[in-house]
Amino acid sequence: MKHLNSVITGTGSYIPTVRVTNREFTRHTFYNEDETKIETLVDEVIAKFKDITGIEERRWVSDDLCASDIGAIAARRAIEDAGVDPETIDQIIVAHNFGDIKHGTIQTDILPSLASRIKHHLGIKNPSCIPYDLIFGCPGWVQGVIQADSYIKSGLAKRCLVIGTDTLSRLIDKHDRDCMIFADGAGAVVIEAKEEEAKRGILSAAAMSHTEEEAFYLYLGKSYHPESDPNIRYIKMEGRKIYEYALINVPEAMKVAVENAGVEPNEITKILIHQANEKMDEAIVKRFVKKCRIEKSVPELMPMSIRELGNSSVGTIPTLYDMIIKGKQPEHKIDKDDIVMFASVGAGMNINAVVYKH
């Protein structure tokens, strides 16, 4: 019996050229949520931040680029890697959170959608190529992969382009310590339908949403600076609540995905988790490993890029995946028949996981 597989045939990413180290935040004056000034020395604030998040530097886009621009670059690289004609793409699914934000402004622009802009940038003329945006918080790119798989398995598409792109640097409050977390980046994959004897590609997925108390753990709010304009809003988050929520719920979603895939947990070779916070990611994977009695160590399973690239939301997983596939993470590799998990958590609050066999 032949299987209809959803297979990633090409990957691409764009890592911005502007490197911003932690030292560059020593010039900032940080405030608490109640607008009181943080009296702790900035050097101590930054050192504590690095200990918690693992971030030493992050990448921001140059002034001339927006999310759709870098998404198109990543997409073009994925298409070239797959060796396909762009005119044969059925769906362009673009995960993001804030649309295009021009340098020097804080206004989000999603008219037209980023997917339509990227289709335009790619020069695709085919009217049957349908572009649309997906807003699902940081798990957006993984959710796009789940949707592409659904299109393929249902027969509605044969070839999908799934992109994650964000420029969070344009929405940070420079008086909030959390601004040091956020970064920019884009990643993309081409997913194609393949009729094959063996089952491979996307084996399973799981997703969760909790909105009763959790909906506004991430939100837009005014700057912490006491003299800021209350009508201008920036990325804000309830860090402790997010940490606790993720630690309880993400390992469970990952476990469900493995059970749905029909594979043994010990068969998993890599876990590509959203690069949100190094300590949080380690704690999530440790709990998952313990829950599923996996024998591999966390460092062996979990490649990380957050130290150098920061948290680019929907861009973290596809960027990290492309880096591994292209040999840019020498301590990690993915071989034929390896089973990889993608897992993410973010605004909503939303969680998802995908099990993929190479």
- For position 192, what pLDDT does the model report? 98
Strands 91-95 and 159-167: parallel
CB atoms within 10 A of CB 283: 17
From CA 177, how far away is CA 38, in angstroms rounded? 10
Asked whether residue 273 falls in the same domain as residue 152, the answer is no
Instruction: List per-residue pLDDT tens for the chain, 358 residues long.
Output: 799 999 999 999 999 999 999 999 988 899 999 999 988 888 888 898 998 899 999 999 999 999 999 999 999 999 999 999 999 999 999 999 999 999 998 889 999 999 999 999 999 999 999 999 999 999 999 999 999 999 999 999 999 999 999 999 999 999 999 999 999 999 999 999 999 999 999 999 999 999 999 999 999 999 999 999 999 999 999 999 999 999 999 999 999 999 999 999 999 999 999 999 999 999 999 999 999 999 999 999 999 999 999 999 999 999 999 999 999 998 999 999 999 999 999 999 999 999 999 9
| Residue pair 186/61 in contact by the 8 Å Cβ criterion | no
- State which of 175, 196, 217 marks the end of a domain: 196
Instruction: Indicate if 16 and 156 belong to the same structural domain.
Output: yes
Q: Is the pTM of this model over 0.85?
A: yes
CA dist 224 and 246 (Å) reads 25
The phi, psi pair for 319, rounded to 5°, reads: -70, -45
Question: Among 174, 196, 218, where does a domain finish?
Answer: 196
Q: Are residues 177 and 323 in the same domain?
A: no
> Are residues 211 and 161 part of one domain?
no
Q: Do residues 208 and 85 both lie within one domain? A: no
Contact assessment for residue 163 and residue 317, using Cβ atoms and an 8 Å cutoff: no
Domain boundary (151, 179, 196) is at 196
Q: Are residue 331 and residue 189 in the same domain, yes or no? A: no
Residues 112, 258 within the same domain: no
Query: What string of H, E and C letters represents the secondary structure of the chain?
Result: CCEEEEEEEEEEEECCCEEEEHHHHHHCCCECCCCCECCCCHHHHHHHHHHHHCCCEEEECCCCCCHHHHHHHHHHHHHHHHCCCHHHCCEEEEECCCCECCCCCCCCECCCCHHHHHHHHHCCCCCCCEEEEECCCCCHHHHHHHHHHHHHHHCCCCEEEEEEEEEHHHHCCCCCHHHHCECEEEEEEEEEEEEECCCCEEEEEEEEECCCCCCCCEEEEECCCCCCCCCCEEEEECHHHHHHHHHHHHHHHHHHHHHHHCCCHHHEEEEEECCCCHHHHHHHHHHHHHHHCCCCCHHHHCCCCHHHHCECHHHHHHHHHHHHHCCCCCCCCCCCCCEEEEEEEECCCEEEEEEEEC
C-alpha distances in Å from residue 82, one per residue of 53, 185, 224, 293: 34, 21, 46, 36
Q: Which residue has the tokens 């085919």?
A: 126
Q: Find where tokens 């005119």 sit.
A: 87
Structure tokens at 356: 């993929």
Contact at 8 Å (CB) between 307 and 54? yes
User: What is the CATH classification number for the domain harbouring 15?
Assistant: 3.40.47.10
Q: Is residue 253 located within the same domain as residue 317?
A: yes
Domain around 328: 201-357
Cα separation of 195 and 292, whole Å? 31
Q: How many domains does the chain have?
A: 2
Query: Any residues with CB less than 8 A from the CB of 107 and at least 6 apart, and which?
Result: 101
**Do 265 and 314 share a structural domain?**
yes
CA-based nearest residue to 294, from 274, 264, 337: 264
Q: Whole-angstrom Cα distance, residue 170 to residue 233? A: 11
Q: Are residues 128 and 216 in the same domain?
A: no
Phi, psi of 88 (to 5 degrees): -95, 5
Are residues 215 and 180 part of one domain? no
211 & 90 share domain: no
